[in-house]
Structure formats: structure tokens, C-alpha cells
Chain A
């Protein structure tokens, strides 16, 4: 992954707030990242960490109200998506940036056949006529591994299994040959054997098509298998960012370290007792003025309550938002 290559997507200072009857919820706080051409950036976090809201914000997909994108800049193709007129943003969504959501049943329209749903972006964004769009749609279904593609264009979403529906979603997302594909928990609703099929498909498609991918998940195993770089989110902010190998071999943020230690494995030594992260993730009623993880952190110090740590470099391409210095990797492997 060339470090110096110009990013295809550059996000900085993104802040998203939800205004609810119970007050404000600061879901995304000053999130920034750069996506390089062709790379797969994994975004890991638990529910409420802000990972989905970040991606929805930059695509302008959040209903407003209650959501409000308060600040930030999202540069794609030299233009800021956040200040773009809605009509032009619509051309980017599904055009230059494709996306896939978690639940393929609710994101496909049940009353249209899948052929219509795949040809729609082709006709809308690329101005293809019906015959060409259908030919391309069949090609796409074939590309994502749906057998008998041309005939299946006439089928409705309920006639596909969960894994097949997710393949249809991927076909739609890829329809306009996007530079960036955003996938939000695309395999979470699937069984492991089907998940393995989809992950295999994505590896294969990356080689064939070479687009950059943002892959959101809570599953560290999935991330380990497909990501080039990983961003860990907690409490609406990025707490650690690293190349995938460095993140797993030498995690530096106390949250990442605790998370990696708490999950059981199917191979290797089996822990007699699971290590836990006590407490629960915060609900951010106000813009954080302190580290959001401090209440659950084993290394919290007075400074953590006084200011919110900014990302700082701890290695090549490796940064954490933490005041604490983790011991070296060898020690980290046990401790």
C-alpha cells in the first residue's frame, strides 16, 4: 500500500449530533481518516461507537432532523461532499461511491425484481438504455457468483437466500464501477459458512476491480482476514488506527488491547476464564471533554478526565488517542 498515494476519500473533523427529546447525543466526534486507492480499511467498534453514523454522515444519508452534521470535510474527487448540492450528492451515491448495508432483506425493495434494482443505478447514473443495462446487470450477477444470472434478474428478493441477497446488494453497489465501496456489517446477518463465501467473493472482486473499500464490522476475526488497515472506534471517535498486522500484533490503545483479550478463539490455547471489560460504553450527552474510555480503562490517570486525548503516532502508520504508553509488543502479547 503506497503511503504517499493521494487518498480517494479524505475525511476530517467530522461531527454528527442527534437531537432527541432527551437531549443531544454526540454520536461522532471529530473523526478523520484517509482512504487510499485500492486499500481495504476496516472500521471496528461496538454498537454506539459511531462507526455506522460516520459513514452515513459522509454520504448524507442521515435524516435531518434528528441528525445534524455539525462540522467536517469529506473530500471525494476533489470536492467536499458535505457542502455539495443534494442533486449532485445523489450522483455520487451509487455512482462514485457504492454501499452495502447489513440486512439485505430490508435494503432491497421487495416489490421490484432484482433486475430492476440493479439496472436502476445503471440507467440513472450511466444513462444506459434498457437492453444494455440488462446485459450489464446479468454480467454483474454473474460476477458476484449468482448462477443462471440472466434468468434470475426476473426474480424478487424473497426468492433469494440471505447469502444470495447479499450478493445482489454487492452487485448493485458495484453497478457503476465505484471508486469507493462502503460496506456496513455486510456479513453480520449471515451464517458463518455463508459469510466465508461472501468474504471470498470480496477478496476476489478486489483483485478484479481494485476499488477502495471501507468495511465496518464488530467482528475482529473478519477484519483480520480482509483488511489492510484498521480504525478502531469507541465513543464516537477513532481511538486507534494501524496497519492490520500491527494492530493485532501490537495493539496500543487500552480499549483495543482489552477487546482483543476478551474474545475467545476456536483454536490455540483456551482461557479458563474470559477477561472482561467491566462497565458499558458511554452515551455521549455532550461533546466529550475527556477520554470516553476512561471509566472502563485499567490505565486511566487524572489527565484522562481533564482532556480528551488527540491521535498521536506510535509507529509507522500507527496512531492512538491515549495518554498512556503501552509496553513493547513482546510484553503485550501476554499481558
Chain B
């Protein structure tokens, strides 16, 4: 673990993904939707980083941007030693086998006119010199790995249930032996009894093939199950990132606290007596985020400074970073600013990267 800590498989720094808002006849750019606005984090080899947040917080955009499914606005993305933030599509294509994606809706992400074998075999045909016979062998192997019956290789996606379709999507993502897989809400479209099947499969495959996951989800209980570390996003920013147990047992950011307190627990006694933090209002538009802290318009513990100054994501000891003016860190942070030992701002990877990647 110590070794892995020094060597993140994925290092994202200052990632920004803005979508232009245009207006008028000439489609003049009048503003930006700041879907992802200055996000930095590491994903260590073999771990699962959970990325949680509500709809519109930018978590899916972030996942797609990391795989360069978009031309990003700014930032650095280093995956397995390669800086891909500014890489052209041809060069990226060579690296695609290393990084794959599992999408939310297997209904929409699988071509309805291709057979299962065709879907799983497509990346092999595109990226490898395999013969047809080798390819078929590999397809069967992948179908076994994800628990699909080989006899169904010539069937079409519509003949499968949602859970099985997600298995097809996972088999395709695995075809080229990737190191890193972005799972974008892979279980959101599935029934409760099927979700566990798919999550267990993802865990088995991770152990077997040494995969690293970015697991994007709005389901906080499932993320607690699968992730080793968790990042919480709000309106394009990461507000808190921490080890799973630390985050769930003692969330520091008021938003993380509200989010966890809003999750209904299947326990009537607990539900009857629990103290809930009910946030007021809705998430502001990412085209016009509030000044200062982006959560300041809904924060139950907002301070004056929050409406003026955006808090930095800074460490709170160990593996934890929080972007909040207030949390227990007030003392530490003040100490930090005056030169105390807690001064380390959570941006250590700049130096580490230089050391490691030439």
C-alpha cells in the first residue's frame, strides 16, 4: 500500500471542463457551464475511488473528461505515466486499450444491431491483430469471466435483461486488458436484487485482473461498499476526499454531512429517531455558480467569509482533504497559515509527479 501511495495510476490536476453557452444568430459565446471546475485527485493502482454527488455536480463529466471523451478546457491528466490532457486523438487511440469505460445505460450503450460476440469482439478487431478464431476464443473467455452463457454469443442485446446487458458492457470494457476502468453509474439502471450481482462481479474482476476503478455513483451506500476512497463533488468541485471509513464515519464537509444524513436507511427504528440535516433550496446553476464557496447558498453553517472566498481543498491530516472554511480544521488551518505543521495544501502530487515521471 505504501508503494502504491507513492505511485498513483491516475493523477488529475486542475481539471476544468467548460461547455460554452452560445446565443444569437452568430452563436456568440456568452458564458460557460462550468461542469468541472478545477478538480484534482489521484487514483492509486488497484484501488476504487468512489466519486459521488447529485445530478449535475459534474461527476459524469469528470469521468468522461479523464478518459478524454471530451477536449478538456484545462488541466493535467496522467494515466499510467502518460500525460493525455493535450494528446491528439490518434495518439490517444493507441492508449485506449489501457483505459475503458462502463456506461450507465446498457440499453443505450450497446449497438442493438450487433450480436453479443460482435460487441465484445469489436475492440479486439480494432486494436489487436488477432485472427477470427483467436478472437472468438477470447470472446468466450470474456463471457465466462463476466458470467454470460457462451451459447448466447450470437444473440442480440434486446434478448437480455438489464443485468445481463451490463455484463456485456463490462466484458467489452475488459476485452483489451485495461488497467483503468471508469464505471459511470453502472448499477443505476438495475433493480436492487441485480445490483449486488453486478457489484460483486466488478469486485471479482478487480481482484482477478488487478483493475483500478473510478466508480461514479449517486448511491452512497453502494459506494461505501465498493470504494476504498471517496471523493464528494458539488457543483463542479471536489468538496471532500477521504478514505471510505473516515468519510462515512465522520464526514467533515457540511455538504457531505447533509448528503449522508439524507440517505434513508432500511431501519424503521433508526429512521424514527434520526436527526436529519434537511438542506433548503436547490443546487445553483453551474453556469452562474455562487461567489465564494459554491455550497454557501445551501450550507446550514455558512459564515461570512464563505460568501466571498472559495475555500481551498486542503489536507486535514492523513489522506483526507476538505474544502471548507469552517470544519474542525479552522484551528488547524489558521495554524497552517501562520506556518504551523498543518500548512500542507493538498497538492503534493506536483512534486511527486516530477520525481516519478522523469
Q: Using a Cβ–Cβ cut-off of 8 Å, how many residues does chain A contribute to the interface with B?
A: 44
Given the complex of chains A and B, what is the CA–CA distance between A258 and B196 in angstroms? 11
Assuming the contacts A264-B222, A265-B221, asked whether A248 and B266 have C-beta atoms less than 8 A apart, the reply is yes
Q: CB-nearest residue of chain B relative to A187?
A: B264
Partner of A266, one of B192, B218, B221, B276: B221
Chain A positions 262 through 284: 1 when the CB is less than 8 Å from some CB of chain B, otherwise 0:
11111100110111111011000
Query: Is A299 positioned at the interface, with any CB of B under 8 Å from its CB?
Result: no
Q: CB-nearest residue of chain A relative to B258?
A: A193
Partner of A264, one of B225, B276, B278: B225
Chain A positions 191 through 212: 1 when the CB is less than 8 Å from some CB of chain B, otherwise 0:
1111111011000000000000
**Contact: B196 with A276, CB < 8 Å?**
yes
Given the complex of chains A and B, what is the CA–CA distance between A179 and B78 in angstroms? 60
Residues of B within 8 A of A164 (CB): 282
Given the complex of chains A and B, what is the CA–CA distance between A161 and B56 in angstroms? 12
Given the complex of chains A and B, what is the CA–CA distance between A260 and B268 in angstroms? 13
Query: Is A218 positioned at the interface, with any CB of B under 8 Å from its CB?
Result: yes
Q: How far is the CB of B348 from chain A (nearest CB, A)?
A: 29
Chain A positions 166 through 181: 1 when the CB is less than 8 Å from some CB of chain B, otherwise 0:
0000000000000000
Assuming the contacts A264-B221, A264-B222, asked whether A193 and B193 have C-beta atoms less than 8 A apart, the reply is no
Query: Is B54 positioned at the interface, with any CB of A under 8 Å from its CB?
Result: yes
Partner of A192, one of B194, B218, B222: B218
Q: How far is the CB of B54 from chain A (nearest CB, A)?
A: 4
Given the complex of chains A and B, what is the CA–CA distance between A245 and B268 in angstroms? 6
Residues of A within 8 A of B163 (CB): 280
Query: Is B89 positioned at the interface, with any CB of A under 8 Å from its CB?
Result: no
**Contact: A193 with B192, CB < 8 Å?**
no
**Contact: B191 with A224, CB < 8 Å?**
no
**Contact: B282 with A281, CB < 8 Å?**
no
**Contact: A196 with B222, CB < 8 Å?**
no
Greatest chain B CB density within 10 A among A197, A218, A225, A278 is at A225
Given the complex of chains A and B, what is the CA–CA distance between A49 and B272 in angstroms? 28
Partner of A260, one of B197, B222, B266: B266
**Contact: B221 with A263, CB < 8 Å?**
yes
Chain B positions 236 through 261: 1 when the CB is less than 8 Å from some CB of chain A, otherwise 0:
00000000000010000000001111
Greatest chain A CB density within 10 A among B192, B194, B222, B283 is at B192
**Contact: A222 with B264, CB < 8 Å?**
yes
Query: Is B4 positioned at the interface, with any CB of A under 8 Å from its CB?
Result: no
Q: How far is the CB of A146 from chain B (nearest CB, A)?
A: 12
Query: Is A244 positioned at the interface, with any CB of B under 8 Å from its CB?
Result: yes
Residues of B within 8 A of A194 (CB): 54, 282
Q: CB-nearest residue of chain B relative to A195?
A: B262
**CB-contacts of A287-312 with B (<8 A):** none
Query: Is B269 positioned at the interface, with any CB of A under 8 Å from its CB?
Result: yes
Partner of A265, one of B192, B195, B203, B266: B266
Assuming the contacts A164-B282, A200-B278, A265-B221, asked whether A192 and B262 have C-beta atoms less than 8 A apart, the reply is yes
Assuming the contacts A191-B55, A193-B259, A262-B196, asked whether A270 and B264 have C-beta atoms less than 8 A apart, the reply is no
Query: Is B304 positioned at the interface, with any CB of A under 8 Å from its CB?
Result: no
Query: Is A163 positioned at the interface, with any CB of B under 8 Å from its CB?
Result: yes
Query: Is B199 positioned at the interface, with any CB of A under 8 Å from its CB?
Result: yes
Residues of B within 8 A of A218 (CB): 191-192
**Contact: B278 with A197, CB < 8 Å?**
yes
Residues of A within 8 A of B191 (CB): 46-47, 218, 281
Chain B positions 166 through 207: 1 when the CB is less than 8 Å from some CB of chain A, otherwise 0:
000000000000000000000000011111110110010000
**Contact: A221 with B282, CB < 8 Å?**
no
Query: Is A68 positioned at the interface, with any CB of B under 8 Å from its CB?
Result: no
Query: Is A220 positioned at the interface, with any CB of B under 8 Å from its CB?
Result: yes
Given the complex of chains A and B, what is the CA–CA distance between A164 and B281 in angstroms? 9
List of 8 A-B pairs having minimum Cβ-Cβ separation, nearest first: A221-B264, A191-B54, A225-B271, A196-B262, A274-B196, A264-B225, A220-B266, A46-B191
A-B contact pairs, 22 of them (CB 8 A): A46-B191, A47-B191, A164-B282, A192-B259, A193-B258, A193-B278, A197-B278, A197-B279, A199-B264, A221-B265, A224-B270, A225-B265, A245-B268, A248-B266, A258-B193, A260-B266, A266-B224, A270-B224, A274-B199, A276-B197, A276-B200, A277-B196
